[in-house]
Amino acid sequence: MLSHFDEEESTMSWKIDPAYSSIQFSVQAMNLNLVRGRFSCFTGHLDLDPGQMTAAQVRGEINVASIDTDHETRDAHLLSVDFFDVEQFPTIGFRSTHVERLSLGQYRVCGDLTIKSITRPVTFDVVDHGRVHDPWGAYRWGFSAESAIKRQDFGLCWNIALAAGGWVVGERVKIKAEIQLIAG
């Protein structure tokens, strides 16, 4: 059974545990439904005093080649120069600039998202799921984060107009991350 984190609160460095974390996205396809995907290779760090969440420093990086939409042809197209151009831009990066407490366990994390060497401000709505001391002696902390971006703002502009109106790929991409951090 997990016990709540009860150690003295002081500045700590936390890193993403990829075994218990996920980064997913969804975008509308042909004005009909959402296509969902995920990245399987990513890293991230959080430096903070747990009692001072608004002073947190968040950094993360995604390996673009780890994209998976459950469709090999679509994945290959997403990695091509039409979208991510993975040969020239192999990573996506995020660095926080400001953290705002909205209510108990709810935060807004603002920062700079970089895709294809284009950096734009992005805001994530974050839920703090709490901290625990796991059975193996590690301190863990769980979060959920959501945001949405306009893909064209990051140079992801490929599209084809549909005869009935609209586009093959929607403009807005929703991002959802389930993150478990481990102290150390």
| Structural tokens at position 7 | 């150690």
145, pLDDT greater than 50? yes
CB 146 within 8 A of CB 2: no
The CA distance from 96 to 121, in Å, is: 9
Residue 50's pLDDT is what? 63
The CA distance from 53 to 71, in Å, is: 39
Which of residues 61 and 12 earns the better pLDDT score? 61
Q: Report residue 54's pLDDT band, with 50, 70 and 90 as the boundaries.
A: confident
The CA distance from 31 to 34, in Å, is: 9
pTM for the whole structure = 0.90
User: CB-based contacts of 34: which residues, under 8 Å, 6+ apart?
Assistant: 26, 27, 28
Terminal alpha carbon distance of the chain: 22
Segments in the chain forming alpha helices (H): 72-79
Q: What is the pLDDT of the chain when averaged over all its residues?
A: 92
The CA distance from 103 to 88, in Å, is: 41
- 139 C-beta neighbours (distance < 10 Å), count: 17
Please tell me whether residue 130 adopts helix, strand or coil conformation: strand
Query: How open is the CA angle 58-45-92, to the nearest 5 degrees?
Result: 75
Question: Which tens digits make up the pLDDT trace of 68-114?
Answer: 999 999 999 999 999 999 999 999 999 999 999 999 999 999 999 99
The CA distance from 78 to 109, in Å, is: 27
